[in-house]
Each structure stands twice: as structure tokens, then as C-alpha cells.
Structure 1
Amino acid sequence: MSGLNDYLSRLPISRKLILVMVSVVLAVALIASTTLILSAYLVSRNNFVPASVQAVTRILSEEPVLNTLLKSPEKAAEVLDAASEYSLINSIALYDSNGRLYATHDLKGQPHNIPNTAPEQIENETQHIARVDLADGGTVTFYIETDPSLPMDFYAGMTIAVLIILVFIFLLTSAAARLVRRYITQPVLHLIRIANTVSIEENYGVRAQKFYHDEVGILAQAFNTMLSRIEARDQLLTSARDKAEQASMKAQALAIETHMTNKKLELEVKVRKRAEHKLTSFQNYLNNIIDSMPSALIAVDEQLLVAQCNKAATQLADMEHDAALGLPLGTFMPFLANCLPKVQQALDLQTSQLVEKLPLMLADGENYLDLVIYPLSGDDNDGAVIRIDNITRRLQLEEMMVQTEKMMSVGGLAAGMAHEINNPLGAIIQGVQNIRRRISSTLPANQKEADALGLPLEILNAYLENREITRFLDNINSAGMRASKIVSNMLQFSRRGSKTLTPTNLSEIIERTIEIASSDFDLKKGFDFMSISLEQDLDERLTAVPCITDEIQQVLLNLLKNAAQAINARTEANWQGKIVIRTRKQGNHALITVSDNGAGMDEDTRKRIFEPFFTTKDIGAGTGLGLSVSYFIITNNHKGAMSVISTPGIGTEFTITLNLQQSRLSEKPHMPTIIEAALP
């Protein structure tokens, strides 16, 4: 299809017109011939054939012809043969009154389909039936087959007519081609030649000939007008080109001079860009250094407006860098409002100023800041630089160092005191136990001595009971056991033994500790775990934490009891206490946090919470060694860390950090406890 379109697009206009005209005429002739043949066929089938059948039937129905037919089948066959000579009839058959075939004739010599039964059932377009009544009352039936097709002479005539039409079409096409070539093609080709001459040779002096006063003639006249205008403009362009060439010569000279100047400027630009690049790189390097500093740096001018700041300063103020520039220092960092006189003093005196331990409440709790204010001096830069350092971690480390030194001194003191107190305390506990045995009525020796003196032991025990002497003995024994527990806790600081850190499932230790704590119910000491909600959030990955199981269990139990006491210390009615134990794996460390919503602690109490013998409980309610022993177990025996965060009225959170990569700690020999020394 694309090839046909390409071929038609390349044909001249005259041939296209002739091709269209011939196509239209041929289509009309083809449609007319087809319509004529179809009409003739329909007329022959619907009119000529029925008329012929009726004529033959009328002839055969006449009485002389009918009598001849009924004489004999042979005579009937001769008559039917004469009747079938009509060109539209193929065959004729005669049936008697009983419907049996009497005689027949087939013109074409081919068998015809004549049924043996009711012949009236076979009539259609080519098969016709006619019945004739006889004088004797019988009936004969004629069966006629016809051929409705047109005769060959009709087709021959049609063929001749079509050929004549084609000859006339050819003659008309030739005449039309001459007219098209003369009135259309020749003027158009002339215009094409003129256009090619103008486009190829650029000869604007030629003119097109106007053949006729039609559209092509109008086009030739317009084309000549266009050529005249183009010729005039070409002359103007030629003149302008000459002038432009002269100007171009001058421009080339100026261009050479400009090129030399541009070369010099290009060198200067390269040198300046190189210098700017170095300055920019150096500036970025300085900015990166300043932004990488952990200290917050703020530069202010004489009006104490922020001129520059680093990344740490914007993070501390929680503000974007561009938004901070130009703001007053007190607006940028409101917590520095009380330090503005120091900044002004540094500007006025041109000396450095220091502000130490400035408190600041952040998301992680209370922090402390150190401020150093440096004055700037110069012709163009008058102002000051403020350096802010967060010293909270340093203070915590200093506090831990002081705490460690206290622990070390108390540990040495505990070792000596335990040795001195161990013997008399053991004697007291042993004496109480001996008194209990000497007044017992179950020992035969006691009964023998009482009988010798005439003193019944039952009366003696009744007297001791009535005078509450046995209660005094119980109090002495209880006080001795309490003192033994205090000395035992003190010995934790000085005990040195070979301890192996065994990989243990931390979640199992915590669950066992919770079971022990949940069964502890002592309202006098503040242990009421039944009314406290205890939640667990345990990391299942901590299945092999190196630790000493009983010591970790002791620390956790101590923290749970302290949390329960802190919750029971709240005075709100119907207060719902809650303790949460969490474990997390953080790198090579395991973190254990025990938090509560109890009464909390102030800052002074929090700083001294791990000191030995420091307690906020009533006299007799606590020894002040529980948290100090726990701190010693974590930091010394497990080489870990223990910290606390507390807010009055909100609650307390203890955090224990254990190393996941340690295995064994070698210590000095074990010292016996008071119980081991006192009991027989």
C-alpha cells in the first residue's frame, strides 16, 4: 500500500487527472453492466420461464394433444420430446391418475429427480407441476424442469457492448489528456522550469509566461511579481554585502585586538578564580573545623547580636543557622540571659570572662555548661566569641572518681572493722545460743542440775517468760544477726576471691528475681509488691551475658526493694505504683534499667546514693549499705557501670551496664563472714 501511494505521489498532475477520470468511467461501466446482467437474469427467471411453462402446459392440455399422449407411452414420449424443444425447458414428465410415471423426456440426457409418490411435493423455482382433469373423471400431472439462466447470445451481445464502451472511453481519455496537457500541464511545467532556474541558478531576471487567464495564469503573474521584488531586494543585499565586507575588515582588525585583550583578561580571571577557590576551600575547611568542634561557638557584635555560630550552637539552641544570624543573644539562647552582663563586661574591658557550671535542663535531664567569653579586637571586627562546653559528663566522671575513692577507703576500713567486730559479735550470738540451750528442759544435763537444786525447769522458764527475759534474749539474737548482716555487707568491699563470670541468660535471672521479690511482703519495711504493677521489657538476644548469677540477683533484688519503698512513700491516695525492668543489647554491652514512679530523689541525695552508710530511711529501717554493695558488685566484680537518674515527684531509674566480652576476674582470698565465724 505504501508503494502504491509513493507511485501515485510521483505521477504528474495530468496523469493523475486522466487516471481519476478513467477510474470513474470504468467503475460506472462495470456497475452498469453488472446491473444489466442481473436485471436480465431476474426478468428471465420471474417472467420468461413461467410464461414458457404456462404456454407448454396449455398446448399439452388441449384435448387432441392429450388424447395423443394417452394412446401409448411411446407416443407420449414423442409428443413430450417435441414440447421440450423450447430452450428454457430441460425435461418433461407425465404422471397418470394413480401418480405413477407414465412417460418422460430429458432434453439434456441426464436423469431427473422425479419422486415415486405425491408429485405435488416437489414444485420449486426450477420445477413446475400442472394437473389436467380428464373427461372420464381422472387426472394427469405434468412435471416440467426449467433453466432460468440467460442464453449465450445475450452474454455475447453484452461483451460487444462493453468493448464498444471501452473504445469510447479510450477515445475520450485521449482527447481529455490532450486538453489537460494543453491547458493545465504545459503552463504548470513552464512554471516549474522557471522556479528551477531561479532556485538553482539564482537568476531573478527571468519571467514566467502567462498562457491563459485561469488560476495558473494568475499564479504566473504573482510569481513574476515576486521575482521582481526579489530582484530589487537582491540588488539591495548586494550593496549591503559590499558595505558589510568593508565593515568586516574593520571588525577583524578590532577582533584581533579584542582577542589579545581577552587573553589577558582570561589569564587574570583564571588567577582570580584560583585565588577565590583557595579562599573558598580554606573558608570551608575552617567552617568544617568549627562545626566539628564539640564546643558550641557563638560570635556576637557590639550590640550582642549573633554574627556567626557553629553546628553545635544551633543544635543546642534548636534553631537553623540562617534563622539564628542577626538575633539577639538572649533570644537565640534564652538560658544565657543571666550571662549577658559578663559578655558586655568582656567587650568593655577587652578581657576573657568565665562562667562555670551553668545549669540547663535538656531532654536527657539536667546538664551543666561552662562559658568562656573571648573579646575580639580589630579595625573591622569588634565583638566577642562565646565558647560553651557541656561539662555534665566530666562532672559525672569526677563524681564517680570521688565515689570510687570513698569506696576504696571504706573497703579498707571494712576489712579492718570486720576482723575486730567478728570475734565479739560471734561471742554474743554464741552466748545467746548457749543461754537458750542451758534453760531448755529437753537436755538431760539441765534437768539433772535443776533436780539437784530443787528448781523445776518449767517454773524457771515460766518466770523467764513472765519477766520477758526470753524476749530480751530474742532481741539480743536479732540485733546480733542484724549486726552480722551489716558486717557481711561491709565485707563485700574487701572480699577477694576467684570469681568466674559465667555466660548466663539474663532474662532467666530477672524472672527468678521477680519471683523472689513478689513473694516478699513486709509492710513495716515498705515491701508491698502485691499492689505494684511490675512490667518487663526483656531483650531475648541476651542469652549469654558473662556475670555472677547470685550477685546480679542480689543487686536486682535490692533495686526492686528500694523501688517498692519509694513507691510506698508517696502520699497520694490510690496511687498506682509501677516498676519497669528493661534489658537492651547495645554494641558489646548489656544494659539493665530498673525504673519506678516513686517519690524520687533530689540532686544532693542522688549524688550520695552510693556512699556506704548513707540512707534516707528511719533509724533501724536501713543500714545504708545496699546500694553501695550493689555499686561495688557491678563496678568491681563485673567491671561494669551503674548510674541513676531521679526527679522528685516523678520517679527514679537505675541503669546497669555489663561487658559482654569479659570472662574472669582474679581477686584476693576470701575472708570468712561473721556468721561463718560465730556459728558452731
Structure 2
Amino acid sequence: MRWYQDLSIRTKLQSIVMVTCAAALVVAAVLFTLYDRANFVREKTQDLIASAKMIGSNSAAALSFHDIRLAREILNALQAKPHVVNACIYDSDGTVFAKYSRSLNHVDFPPPPTDRENGTTIVAGNMVLFQDIALHGDSIGSIYIEADLGEVSDRLSRLVMIDFIVLVGSLAVVFVLSSRLQRVVSEPIRELAEMAATFSTHENYSMRATKRSNDETGVLVDQFNGMLDRLQQRNVSLQLAHDGLEKSVAERTSYLNALIENSPVGILVLDSERLVKLCNPAFEKLFQYTRLEIVGQAFDGLIADGDLLSEIGEASRRTVDREVVNMIARCQRKDRSIVDVELHTVKLMVNRKVEDTLYIYQDISVRKRAEEEMQRAKEAAEASNRAKSEFLA
């Protein structure tokens, strides 16, 4: 019955109504047909008994006066009843007195014995009747009548045909009525199913189903609309939280970008392939490169070559080992001039996974020259002190 479960509510309702009505009509037709057949057979039996009584009453004189011709004429009156097949009158000794057959070719049909009780029985599909013929209370003979049940079969066939026509006509009316009346139940459910499908596709939380009644379908519509209300409220709350989070992230991103862009120290970020990912204006000013020139380019050899490259390479190796590197290094600008920098490197980790490497460069050329001048002044002062001491000595 899997195929039936997959049918629409409308088809299921119509099929249930059609099958129920068809079953009820078939049962009613069968019971009516059986009743009519039994009633018709009873009428035929009563008619056959009445015919036997009439023939017996009319043939009493023929039996009394042994008038065979008169008895035959009386039996020939059965020609008016085409369902009578054979008939026979017996005298008091059980001897055949006169016979009748519907078919002239079977006038000499073998009469049955007379040792049967009065009444009717069904023999070989025919109705057989035996009845005594009495005169003044004494039995002077008996009568045998055999009638076919063709009329019963014909009537049964007509009834079956009528039942079939009535069944088909009734089911046609039921189909038309049920196709309209089932909408009272199926339409709200169909609309609810379509709305659920539309909601699933477009996620329109403002949709609401229309309630048409206060029955179970009305309760279902109320519950569905209530669910949409809760989902809409939850969606609004989530949207507000999402908007707030996006705003916070945007503000934080803008803040971090502002820190990078306005930082007085040069900032450089390399990806896992040691390609330049980004740099800030301070880095551009320090090394005389623009972002368009270096973003996406290999870092090695960009601001160092020869002996300088070995210094930067040592910092890179230590950074790969996840060390935080702080060192003084010499780097090369775009114009091949040398600049002294203080270098800080660290691995950037996201979800405990190393993604990029951060380099921070601070120009210490002025400080380095000042330190060198101070060193020279110190050495000159020390030399002067030694010369003075030697002179005084």
C-alpha cells in the first residue's frame, strides 16, 4: 500500500468515499437481489400450487368418469404458462391418466413415480410439484407439474444489470459530489502544504495561512501560524544580533586597519609560501616600494641580498620554529641603499594553525648614527684623557 500512502489528500479522500459507497451499494444490491429472487421464487411456487389446485379441481370429474380426453384438454390449458415444462395426472392407483409436455417432441416423457409427498422441490434446476386430487375428502388421484426457473434466471440477470447501472450511476454522482465536498477538508491542508513549501524555498517569515474553520484543520493552521510567529521573532533577534556582530567586526576591522595604516613602523605580512600578502604605508616609505610592486611577490631577495640575506634568513628560520624574533638587521631599499632596522617577527596563528608571518620594521638609522657619533666622541675623549695623562707624567 506504499503507492496509496504517496497519493494526495484529495485523491485519498475521494478514494475512501468511492470505495465506501461502492461497498455499501454492492452489499445493498446483493441483499436486495437475494430478497427479490427469494420473493419471486415464492410467488412462482404459489402460482404453481394455485395452478395445480385448479387443474386438480377441474380434472376430478374426468377422473371420476375416466374421461382421458377431458383430462388432456384440462392439462393443455397449461400452454398459457410457458414456464411449465411437463405435467401429468395420475389416477388413484398411481397409473398415468393424462400427460402434458411443453415440447410436442417430448409428449412421451417418462412420468416420475407417485410415491412422493405433496409439495414443491427443486430438481435439476426445475421446480417440481406433487399434489393430491381429492373429491368429497377422498383422494382420487394426484397431479405432477414440472416448471423451469428460466424466468427466475432472467429476472436475476435483469436485476444484476439494473444493479450495475445503479452502481455506476450512483458512483458517478458520488464522484462529482465528493470532488466538490472533499475540498472542505483537502483545500486547507493543500494550502498549508503549499505555504510550507513556499516558506522552505523563500524563507518569508511574514507569510500566514488562512484559517477557515475551527475543526482540526483550523487548529493545525493556528499551530502553523504560531510556529511562523516564533520563527519570525527568533529570526529578527538573530538578525539584530548578526547585524550587531557585523557592525562590531566592521568597527574592529576598521580599527585594526587604521592601526596598520597609521602605524609609524613598517608592517609586512607573508603567507605560508613566503609571498607578500600586505604592507603598510610606513613600510612603503621605509623601503621605497609600493604595494602594487610587492604584493604577491616572493619576499626572499626583496629587501636583502648577499650577506644581508643571510641575516634575514636567520630571522625567518627562527620564526618557522615559532620563536618570537627581535634583532637588529640591515636591509636594502629599492634604490640599493642600506638601512638599519630593528626587526620583530612572529607567526600568526588562526584556530591553532599557522597561517601567516608578521614582520615589523623600525628605522633605527638616526639612532645608529647618534650611537656611532657618541662612540666616536667617547673614544676621542678617552684618547684626549690618555694624552693629557701622558703629558703630565
Q: TM-score, normalised by structure 2?
A: 0.52
In structure 1, the residue matched to 2:352 is 258
1:56-86, Cα deviation, whole Å (9 max, x unpaired):
2222233566428966545533321213533
Give yes or no for contact 2:71–2:98 (8 Å, CA) kept in 1.
yes
Identify if the C-alpha distance between structure 1 residues 127 and 157 changes in structure 2 by more than 3 Å, giving closer, same or farther: closer
Give yes or no for contact 1:191–1:208 (8 Å, CA) kept in 2.
yes
Listed as ranges, the gaps of 5+ residues in structure 2 are 122-126, 257-346, 355-393
Secondary structure, counterpart of 2:116 in structure 1: helix
Whole-Å separation in 2 of the counterparts to 1:98 and 1:119: 11
In structure 2, the residue matched to 1:189 is 190
Secondary structure, counterpart of 1:145 in structure 2: strand
Give yes or no for contact 1:130–1:143 (8 Å, CA) kept in 2.
yes
Secondary structure, counterpart of 1:62 in structure 2: helix
Give the 5 Å matches for 1:397-546.
none
In structure 1, the residue matched to 2:229 is 228
Instruction: Please report how far the alpha carbon of residue 21 of structure 1 lies from its aligned counterpart in structure 2 after TM superposition.
Output: 1.4
Q: Which one scores higher on RCO, CA 8 angstroms, separation ≥ 6?
A: 2
In structure 1, the residue matched to 2:18 is 22
Amino acid at match of 2:147: T
Whole-Å separation in 1 of the counterparts to 2:348 and 2:98: 125
Give yes or no for contact 1:127–1:143 (8 Å, CA) kept in 2.
yes
Whole-Å separation in 1 of the counterparts to 2:118 and 2:55: 20
**Residues matched between the structures, number:** 250
Secondary structure, counterpart of 1:127 in structure 2: strand
In structure 1, the residue matched to 2:73 is 78
Give the 5 Å matches for 1:298-377.
none
Listed as ranges, the gaps of 5+ residues in structure 1 are 261-680
Whole-Å separation in 2 of the counterparts to 1:75 and 1:255: 132
1:94 to 82, 85, 89: 89
Structure possessing the higher radius of gyration over alpha carbons: 1
- Residue 208 of structure 2 corresponds to residue 114 of structure 1: no
Whole-Å separation in 1 of the counterparts to 2:165 and 2:145: 38
In structure 2, the residue matched to 1:11 is 7
2:169 to 149, 167, 170: 167
Amino acid at match of 1:120: R
Amino acid at match of 1:48: E
1:177 to 151, 176, 179: 179
Whole-Å separation in 1 of the counterparts to 2:165 and 2:139: 57
Whole-Å separation in 2 of the counterparts to 1:138 and 1:172: 62
In structure 1, the residue matched to 2:298 is none
Amino acid at match of 1:219: L
Instruction: Please report how far the alpha carbon of residue 193 of structure 1 lies from its aligned counterpart in structure 2 after TM superposition.
Output: 1.7
Give the 5 Å matches for 1:582-593.
none
Secondary structure, counterpart of 1:120 in structure 2: coil
Deviation >6 Å, runs of 4+: none
Q: Cα RMSD (Å) of the superposition?
A: 3.9
Instruction: Please report how far the alpha carbon of residue 195 of structure 1 lies from its aligned counterpart in structure 2 after TM superposition.
Output: 0.7
Give yes or no for contact 1:80–1:105 (8 Å, CA) kept in 2.
yes
Give the 5 Å matches for 1:659-674.
none
Identify if the C-alpha distance between structure 1 residues 200 and 151 changes in structure 2 by more than 3 Å, giving closer, same or farther: same
- Residue 201 of structure 2 corresponds to residue 200 of structure 1: yes
Instruction: Please report how far the alpha carbon of residue 206 of structure 1 lies from its aligned counterpart in structure 2 after TM superposition.
Output: 2.2
Give the 5 Å matches for 1:46-61.
47-61=42-56
Instruction: Please report how far the alpha carbon of residue 238 of structure 1 lies from its aligned counterpart in structure 2 after TM superposition.
Output: 3.9
Give yes or no for contact 2:205–2:228 (8 Å, CA) kept in 1.
yes
Instruction: Please report how far the alpha carbon of residue 138 of structure 1 lies from its aligned counterpart in structure 2 after TM superposition.
Output: 8.0
Instruction: Please report how far the alpha carbon of residue 196 of structure 1 lies from its aligned counterpart in structure 2 after TM superposition.
Output: 0.8
Amino acid at match of 1:258: R
Identify if the C-alpha distance between structure 1 residues 64 and 195 changes in structure 2 by more than 3 Å, giving closer, same or farther: closer
Secondary structure, counterpart of 1:150 in structure 2: helix
Give yes or no for contact 1:97–1:140 (8 Å, CA) kept in 2.
yes
Instruction: Please report how far the alpha carbon of residue 120 of structure 1 lies from its aligned counterpart in structure 2 after TM superposition.
Output: 2.8
Whole-Å separation in 2 of the counterparts to 1:222 and 1:254: 51
Secondary structure, counterpart of 1:94 in structure 2: strand
Instruction: Please report how far the alpha carbon of residue 49 of structure 1 lies from its aligned counterpart in structure 2 after TM superposition.
Output: 3.6
Whole-Å separation in 2 of the counterparts to 1:57 and 1:35: 31
1:357-396, Cα deviation, whole Å (9 max, x unpaired):
xxxxxxxxxxxxxxxxxxxxxxxxxxxxxxxxxxxxxxxx
Whole-Å separation in 2 of the counterparts to 1:138 and 1:198: 95
Give yes or no for contact 2:212–2:218 (8 Å, CA) kept in 1.
yes
Give yes or no for contact 2:119–2:131 (8 Å, CA) kept in 1.
no
Amino acid at match of 2:200: S
Give yes or no for contact 1:131–1:141 (8 Å, CA) kept in 2.
yes
Whole-Å separation in 2 of the counterparts to 1:226 and 1:12: 24
Identify if the C-alpha distance between structure 1 residues 80 and 201 changes in structure 2 by more than 3 Å, giving closer, same or farther: same
